Amino acid sequence: MIHEMKKASRIIEELTMYFLALGSTHVESSIDKEGRKGTIHFKANYDSQYRYRLDNLENLLNQPKNKGMADLYWELAGSGDPGESNQLLLVGMMIDQAEVKLEDSQVSLVLHKELE
C-alpha cells in the first residue's frame, strides 16, 4: 500500500509543477484514503494566457488506465519539463478517473485511484 501512496504523491508533484509552469501562485492538494480507494483533491490558479493549455486537460487525465505502463514509469512523473502535457498522459495512466472543473483563472481536480 505504501508503494501506491508514493505514486499518489508523485501525481501531486507532477500536477504542482505543471501548474507552476502555467503561472500558478496558489496550489492546494490533499489525499483522502478510504480502504483501498484514494482520492486526490487538487486546486490551482493559473495565468489566463495559458488557458489554451488546459482545454485538453480532462482528456489527458482520463486516458485509459495502463497498469503495466504505470508500474514501469511512475517514477518518471515529475522528471519532464514543467508544463509539458506528456507528463499528464502518464498521470492519466496512473489514475482511474479524473473530474476537472475549469474556471476563468482556477482549476479544480478530483482524481480517483485504486490503492492496490
Task: Give 64-90 pLDDT, tens digit per residue.
Answer: 876 776 665 555 554 555 556 777 888
Strand partners, 29: 42
**Range(s) of the domain holding residue 95:** 2-114
Q: In what order do the strands lie in the sheet with 106-114?
A: 27-34, 37-45, 106-114, 97-102
pLDDT over 70 at 9, yes or no: yes
pLDDT over 90 at 47, yes or no: yes
* Count: domains in the chain: 1
Mean pLDDT along residues 57-65: 90
Mean pLDDT along residues 26-40: 95
Residue 37 pLDDT grade (very low, low, confident, very high; cuts 50, 70, 90): very high
Which candidate, 20, 21, 101, 95, places its Cα nearest to that of 57? 101
Indicate the pTM of the whole model. Answer: 0.85
Which candidate, 11, 1, 2, places its Cα nearest to that of 74? 11
Residue 84 is part of a domain; what is its CATH number?
3.30.565
Mean pLDDT value across the chain: 86
